Chains A and B, each alone.
Chain A
């Protein structure tokens, strides 16, 4: 097993196809509203109309696929009053469903909306890094599914050495909050964190259940 499991996204070739999201739903049999992996569409820019009927614009858009980042400082673990949320010996943040009381504190605490409330069972659910599958030597389901191979995974330190970029772009939250194990290659049009010119264009597709 890798020491610090992390996801890597090459955002220069992510087309926002959402195959990762649906593959995850299928593997984990997720009910409507549960999205262990979400794809944010971030876009902005202005249009200027000219008198001759033409337009100029500086529109930009990119997608970012986010699951649980199995953070180095998992705020969900810290905020869990029943100690259901924990990090296991392989660095994967998990919920002990026997201990979870469904208080949803972790959901409120997590800036990535990773823990998701399952209404039918009254408990929290989240990405488990497909740990059974990776123990078999395979990639996580979302990584195996990615048609453009934008998504991969590995040890955080290895990925940083290889790609060198932490997740420091909009609309992601500032990484200081949780130290997420998420490494990216930023898209060419990337905007920095806290950018106000762009907006999440698909709030209904990524909002909490």
Chain B
């Protein structure tokens, strides 16, 4: 019989990781500890202000906050970098160490030698946000910038060349107006799990419309399980080949929207090609075989590449081509490949060919859109340094700055880097080791502390990356600080969450603001950094800025802390990012050079001539299919016959919460392998297997399941790297097997492009 044991207080907090959603949690506090985590049970739960129910990750927060890996004191490295040997120091000593090294690096190399590494382990805060490091560095003369993200590098650049911008999608709720939904590599059931987010919108819209949903994915994902009417398995990296095969059927059978193509797009056929481009370079030429490769992209051509029977390709083309509107969207899986820019653009060709762009119930082929309130962010000042690197190439910027150029590495603002990265900031970033590709190579680069001389890492837990810090600083968790949080981008409502401090900071943990203020003090710029305010005063100041947008918020901040959660339904009439362009392309042109959809991109045509690429890589002006390294039929496929992807799975957001025992118990790390691949290798469910290639190896349990395509493995990304004495990872971390080689245009992370072999190590006990 449960005894009634009321908490001392219940306060609002938030789950802050980078899943795209943002969930409120209710913390029950007793005797100074959080004893229970609830989520949103407020409101009437109608659509538009629905309950933002946290997923298992938010519900499991206690096991993370109180995990044995929590960092409690400032520390400095004592052994070799990466050995994980540290000694406790005081905050003053830590600030001194950091300030003197930062001064030295700036004096000797200049501000461009300082870099804040990409990291998204804590995106929920407004004051506790990496913007504080930006602000501090801007006060000190700036630092090297990055562009792109590890999530969307290829699709982001691809959309810019095709549509002139990103965020061109319709809302997912718009599928109530669709006759058919086709999703490529899009798995909101594991990537947008919040009850306030995409998955809930999808449930409600599908229930209302009963629209047929087809999911094209190498995995029978939880989105397939929960929503799809049909799953079409496809080999990773071949989405563009499928699209070409579909386009062939659409074109030859009169199912393309010629009025739309002529009025809104460039490069479909010769009539809309730029004047100075030789004939035979239009999209139609590529598809029908009158282009340079003289190969018609028939369903028979596409079938052996994609693994999808030709008959099914023909049927799918008729399904897409014979009804309107069709909602075609892609997740971010297809683009996280060595040919990802091509895949992302190619998928958009289906709605472009069929005129489903910018209409109700249609979509641009981009990911479903998000809506939110444009809340204020911390003022960070101006960075005088304009040089910017693609975030994936930071290790090259440490090792080889003079070889890091605009034409070979996508450097912006300069022809080549003049100084290497010497000082690295990491805040809530496990992309130093765990989430960056090729861990063995990254370790080799970081181990040499004469290259990058200082790594300052601010974290909640002793992550894989934290072991590589020179100065390791314990940050407060969301339980231990007051702050604001806004809606994630996976919802269709505006949200303000006012987070109260639930418990006192554990150990000597400090807020990021206090940490940066301490360093600013030791650098002699405290006042410039703090503006004379402390953490809580900044939170209140930001709250009052929110009130300027929403004056109905109480003037008394303590009342807002008590209420905690405010929601506003989506407003405005627009349903699609390209609605106005569709309505009037002359009045609302795209921001491409031509103002139109650039199926043929002259910018890419020119880059193909000027950019320096490694052998085998190429840049194409058209959204063609490209076979690349790391794919079947390439030379390395003889030794390593299996493709390996790393899908996002429910127990983690990337590597966040990777040490949470409850989540590991609910969904342990495992290698997905089809019985057709497992049986010849003698692998049974639960066996310990070794996955390896020339880059590295990892040990993991096998999940033998028909839910993955034969010839393909998946090792859910984000599991914590855990090398044994011989350096073999025992944690099932995919980045022991991924490559530093970037994609050609975006210079993004192709972390789903891998060839591997797998062998059985030990039977299931």
Asked if B54 and A15 make an inter-chain contact with CB atoms under 8 angstroms apart, the answer reads no
| Contact for B2 among A14, A23, A62, A131, CB less than 8 A | A131
Q: How far is the CB of A125 from chain B (nearest CB, A)?
A: 11
Q: Is A144 located at the chain interface by the 8 A CB criterion?
A: yes
Asked if A21 and B56 make an inter-chain contact with CB atoms under 8 angstroms apart, the answer reads yes
Q: Is B252 located at the chain interface by the 8 A CB criterion?
A: no
How far is it, in angstroms, between the C-alpha of A128 and the C-alpha of B200 when the chains are bound? 28
Interface string of B335-346 (1 = CB under 8 A from A): 000000000000
How far is it, in angstroms, between the C-alpha of A171 and the C-alpha of B237 when the chains are bound? 35
**Which chain B residues border A149 with CB–CB below 8 Å?**
195, 200, 203
Q: Is A44 located at the chain interface by the 8 A CB criterion?
A: yes
Asked if A138 and B303 make an inter-chain contact with CB atoms under 8 angstroms apart, the answer reads no
Q: Which of A49-57, A74-82, A111-119, A162-170 touches B?
A: A49-57
A21-B56, A49-B710 known; A128 vs B1 contact (CB < 8 Å)? yes
Q: From residue 29 to 80 of chain A, which have CB atoms closer than 8 A to chain B? A: 29, 32-33, 35, 39, 43-47, 49-50, 52-57, 59, 61-63
A131-B2, A147-B194 known; A22 vs B666 contact (CB < 8 Å)? yes
Asked if B307 and A53 make an inter-chain contact with CB atoms under 8 angstroms apart, the answer reads yes
| Contact for B223 among A15, A22, A25, CB less than 8 A | A15
Q: Is B409 located at the chain interface by the 8 A CB criterion?
A: no
Asked if A17 and B668 make an inter-chain contact with CB atoms under 8 angstroms apart, the answer reads no
A26-B59, A148-B203 known; A47 vs B39 contact (CB < 8 Å)? no
A19-B54, A54-B309, A205-B666 known; A43 vs B303 contact (CB < 8 Å)? no
Asked if B706 and A32 make an inter-chain contact with CB atoms under 8 angstroms apart, the answer reads no
Q: From residue 1 to 33 of chain B, which have CB atoms closer than 8 A to chain A? A: 1-2, 4
Q: Which of B68-76, B225-233, B321-329, B571-579 touches A?
A: B225-233
**Which chain A residues border B227 with CB–CB below 8 Å?**
13, 15
Q: Is B86 located at the chain interface by the 8 A CB criterion?
A: no
**Which chain A residues border B661 with CB–CB below 8 Å?**
32
Q: How far is the CB of A43 from chain B (nearest CB, A)?
A: 6
Interface string of A146-184 (1 = CB under 8 A from B): 111100000000000000000000000000000000000
Q: From residue 160 to 181 of chain B, which have CB atoms closer than 8 A to chain A? A: none
Q: Which residue of the partner chain B has the closest CB to A132?
A: B2
Q: Is A201 located at the chain interface by the 8 A CB criterion?
A: yes
| Contact for A15 among B41, B59, B226, CB less than 8 A | B226
| Contact for B676 among A16, A47, A205, CB less than 8 A | A47
Q: Is B662 located at the chain interface by the 8 A CB criterion?
A: yes
Q: Is A110 located at the chain interface by the 8 A CB criterion?
A: no
Asked if B710 and A148 make an inter-chain contact with CB atoms under 8 angstroms apart, the answer reads no
| Contact for B60 among A26, A138, A148, CB less than 8 A | A26
How far is it, in angstroms, between the C-alpha of A3 and the C-alpha of B226 when the chains are bound? 32
**Which chain B residues border A94 with CB–CB below 8 Å?**
1
| Contact for A43 among B200, B307, B662, B707, CB less than 8 A | B707
Q: Is A18 located at the chain interface by the 8 A CB criterion?
A: yes
Asked if B676 and A61 make an inter-chain contact with CB atoms under 8 angstroms apart, the answer reads no
Q: Is B304 located at the chain interface by the 8 A CB criterion?
A: yes
How far is it, in angstroms, between the C-alpha of A204 and the C-alpha of B517 when the chains are bound? 48
Asked if A49 and B203 make an inter-chain contact with CB atoms under 8 angstroms apart, the answer reads no
**Total A-B residue pairs with C-beta atoms closer than 8 Å?**
163
Q: Which residue of the partner chain A has the closest CB to B650?
A: A17
Q: How far is the CB of B68 from chain A (nearest CB, A)?
A: 13
Measured as residues with beta carbon below 8 angstroms from the partner, the interface class of chain B is: 35 or more
How far is it, in angstroms, between the C-alpha of A112 and the C-alpha of B223 when the chains are bound? 26
Q: Is B189 located at the chain interface by the 8 A CB criterion?
A: yes
**Which chain B residues border A204 with CB–CB below 8 Å?**
668, 686
How far is it, in angstroms, between the C-alpha of A56 and the C-alpha of B53 when the chains are bound? 38
Q: Is B199 located at the chain interface by the 8 A CB criterion?
A: yes
How far is it, in angstroms, between the C-alpha of A57 and the C-alpha of B662 when the chains are bound? 34
**Which chain B residues border A145 with CB–CB below 8 Å?**
39, 53-54, 59
Q: Is B667 located at the chain interface by the 8 A CB criterion?
A: yes
Q: Is B443 located at the chain interface by the 8 A CB criterion?
A: no
**Which chain B residues border A128 with CB–CB below 8 Å?**
1-2
How far is it, in angstroms, between the C-alpha of A39 and the C-alpha of B224 when the chains are bound? 17
How far is it, in angstroms, between the C-alpha of A94 and the C-alpha of B310 when the chains are bound? 58
Q: Is B544 located at the chain interface by the 8 A CB criterion?
A: no
Q: Is B430 located at the chain interface by the 8 A CB criterion?
A: no
How far is it, in angstroms, between the C-alpha of A130 and the C-alpha of B2 when the chains are bound? 8
Asked if B668 and A15 make an inter-chain contact with CB atoms under 8 angstroms apart, the answer reads no
How far is it, in angstroms, between the C-alpha of A202 and the C-alpha of B2 when the chains are bound? 31
**Which chain B residues border A132 with CB–CB below 8 Å?**
2, 4
Q: Which residue of the partner chain A has the closest CB to B23?
A: A147
Interface string of B217-250 (1 = CB under 8 A from A): 0001011111101010100000000000000000
How far is it, in angstroms, between the C-alpha of A201 and the C-alpha of B686 when the chains are bound? 10
Q: Is B308 located at the chain interface by the 8 A CB criterion?
A: yes
How far is it, in angstroms, between the C-alpha of A50 and the C-alpha of B307 when the chains are bound? 9
Q: Is B709 located at the chain interface by the 8 A CB criterion?
A: yes
A148-B199, A149-B203 known; A15 vs B304 contact (CB < 8 Å)? no
Q: From residue 673 to 707 of chain B, which have CB atoms closer than 8 A to chain A? A: 674-676, 685-686, 703, 705-707
How far is it, in angstroms, between the C-alpha of A128 and the C-alpha of B207 when the chains are bound? 32
Q: Is B193 located at the chain interface by the 8 A CB criterion?
A: yes
Asked if A27 and B195 make an inter-chain contact with CB atoms under 8 angstroms apart, the answer reads no
Interface string of A191-204 (1 = CB under 8 A from B): 00000000001111
Asked if A13 and B226 make an inter-chain contact with CB atoms under 8 angstroms apart, the answer reads yes
**Which chain B residues border A57 with CB–CB below 8 Å?**
233, 706
How far is it, in angstroms, between the C-alpha of A21 and the C-alpha of B59 when the chains are bound? 10
| Contact for A61 among B37, B56, B224, CB less than 8 A | B224
Q: Which residue of the partner chain A has the closest CB to B665?
A: A32
Asked if B39 and A59 make an inter-chain contact with CB atoms under 8 angstroms apart, the answer reads no
Q: Is B284 located at the chain interface by the 8 A CB criterion?
A: no
**Which chain B residues border A27 with CB–CB below 8 Å?**
36
How far is it, in angstroms, between the C-alpha of A78 and the C-alpha of B300 when the chains are bound? 63
Asked if B309 and A50 make an inter-chain contact with CB atoms under 8 angstroms apart, the answer reads yes
A21-B56, A54-B304 known; A43 vs B705 contact (CB < 8 Å)? yes
| Contact for B307 among A54, A63, A144, A205, CB less than 8 A | A54
Q: Which of B53, B54, B227 has the most CB of A within 10 A?
A: B53
Q: Is B62 located at the chain interface by the 8 A CB criterion?
A: yes
Q: Is B38 located at the chain interface by the 8 A CB criterion?
A: yes
Q: How far is the CB of A40 from chain B (nearest CB, A)?
A: 12
Asked if A26 and B662 make an inter-chain contact with CB atoms under 8 angstroms apart, the answer reads yes
Asked if A17 and B56 make an inter-chain contact with CB atoms under 8 angstroms apart, the answer reads yes
A17-B650, A21-B56 known; A56 vs B309 contact (CB < 8 Å)? yes
Asked if B226 and A47 make an inter-chain contact with CB atoms under 8 angstroms apart, the answer reads no
**Which chain B residues border A138 with CB–CB below 8 Å?**
41
Q: Is B663 located at the chain interface by the 8 A CB criterion?
A: yes
Q: Is B55 located at the chain interface by the 8 A CB criterion?
A: yes
Asked if A45 and B56 make an inter-chain contact with CB atoms under 8 angstroms apart, the answer reads no
Q: How far is the CB of A158 from chain B (nearest CB, A)?
A: 20
Interface string of B51-66 (1 = CB under 8 A from A): 0011110011010000
| Contact for B303 among A54, A188, A203, CB less than 8 A | A54
A54-B309, A148-B200 known; A19 vs B665 contact (CB < 8 Å)? no
Q: How far is the CB of B669 from chain A (nearest CB, A)?
A: 11
**Which chain A residues border B233 with CB–CB below 8 Å?**
55, 57
How far is it, in angstroms, between the C-alpha of A29 and the C-alpha of B28 when the chains are bound? 13
| Contact for A52 among B4, B200, B303, B674, CB less than 8 A | B303
27 contacts between A and B (CB under 8 A): A13-B203, A14-B226, A15-B226, A16-B222, A18-B650, A18-B667, A19-B193, A22-B666, A26-B36, A26-B59, A46-B706, A50-B309, A57-B233, A59-B706, A96-B1, A128-B2, A130-B2, A138-B41, A144-B39, A145-B39, A146-B195, A147-B53, A147-B199, A147-B200, A149-B200, A201-B705, A202-B703
Supplied contacts A21-B666, A44-B706, A56-B309, 14 more A-B pairs, CB within 8 Å: A13-B226, A15-B190, A15-B227, A16-B226, A19-B59, A49-B676, A50-B309, A52-B310, A55-B710, A57-B233, A57-B706, A61-B224, A63-B222, A131-B1
Residues of chain A having any CB pair with chain B under 8 Å: 12-19, 21-23, 25-27, 29, 32-33, 35, 39, 43-47, 49-50, 52-57, 59, 61-63, 94, 96, 128, 130-132, 138, 141, 144-149, 187-188, 201-205
For the complex of A and B, 6 pairs with smallest distance between CB atoms: A147-B195, A15-B226, A15-B189, A53-B304, A22-B56, A19-B56
